[in-house]
Structure 1
């Protein structure tokens, strides 16, 4: 598969992927997920992870490996300040890309959970980590209350000449729910990563508020070290 070439007048990759269902999202979620080169805006969220959790002790080695490339994190905590930065940019392969970089400090450790998303044939592929080693297909839907429900599907691992479909038995599947609370004036998010055999691996829940700024490129600090051509 190859990424869709960039069209500066095109709707965001999320609007394209969801089609008419995008209009069912809460208006604030529509604005947040309309981040793209066509709109020329970035969205920066600042808030609190009210709870960061992980699975039993034997999940820690798995999470520590993910930490090395900013894919998963082994920490737990409550009321942890964090930011999420969504910037659109054109990657070196000519693909419109949106960053989803979450950063937080916990017990003196700076942690990041990096993701970059592209459009592939009208669907969203999520590259995880600093080197885009893991490509994940995403399903995006609106729930009955205007919230966004994101689930991960097939996963592929790429490193140099190595390429293989990652067996879901040995990987985590993500379920993310995001909604807008009108009364509080903020976004709320809940993420759970589970394994079909081993159960719960990692998750967090929290809230954040957003600001928007003009942007047609992402800061280098948010871009991956390398961009993977294969999807």
Structure 2
């Protein structure tokens, strides 16, 4: 049985830690979904002048301007078939910093041998992802080209006005937890936003994504 991630990684998928294989094996074919719950030990942002940029992203759950330590969070990984017939997996993170709820919405599909990550509540940004597996069985993710879509408008989003995400996720046998470390950098202005944390997963049948993690709009263009 395959998933959108195993299809893209090919033989490298078998190099992932077995628990990472299960987590990124969620899909309609495997019939599994999962919910991760844990703590973001650190949520960081860049200098003060990055806040307006992050506030704009906050409007559609793309970026978060808040910072904090030991912040409880939940991540929903639920596969479903979108209105365009594509298998989609949610990567929706929910947390609260200083009592204020926040979300980072992402939904991923497979297209032409790559993963495309739609960001935000309305899938305004489509981002190509480069996936690799390192020697410790961790998954390395780096974002690439980005495209902005709104109504009839569609254009390649300049990275000068956006950020490039780098993420490493692994499973640690010593504590039985997943560990994630992510940062977003702008090619001119440097570090914008990042977090690191740990979590455990609860597995469940893939019976459709919960309504609250499904985007309000599905973009057909990739």
Common fold by TM > 0.5: yes
* TM-score, L = length of structure 1: 0.95
Q: Deviations over 1:60-105 (max 9, x none)?
A: 0000010010000000000000010100000011000000000001
* 3-state SS in 2 of match to 1:21: helix
Q: 2:151 aligns with which of 138, 160, 166?
A: 160
Task: Say yes or no: does 1:36 pair with 2:34.
Answer: no
CA distance in 2, matches of 1:76, 1:205: 12
Quote the residue 2:124 is aligned against: 133
Which residues in structure 2 correspond to 1:1-231 (within 5 Å)? Answer: 11-231=2-222
Q: Deviations over 1:22-62 (max 9, x none)?
A: 11100000000000000111111000000000000000000
Q: Deviations over 1:121-146 (max 9, x none)?
A: 22100000000000000011100110
Give, in angstroms, the shift of residue 216 of structure 1: 3.1
Q: CA RMSD in A?
A: 0.7
CA distance in 1, matches of 2:45, 2:75: 20
Number of aligned residue pairs: 222
Runs of 4+ residues over 3 Å off in structure 1: none
CA distance in 2, matches of 1:180, 1:11: 20
CA distance in 2, matches of 1:31, 1:216: 17
Give, in angstroms, the shift of residue 169 of structure 1: 1.5
CA distance in 2, matches of 1:125, 1:156: 10
CA distance in 2, matches of 1:35, 1:220: 18
Any gaps of 5 or more consecutive residues in structure 2? none
* 3-state SS in 1 of match to 2:216: coil
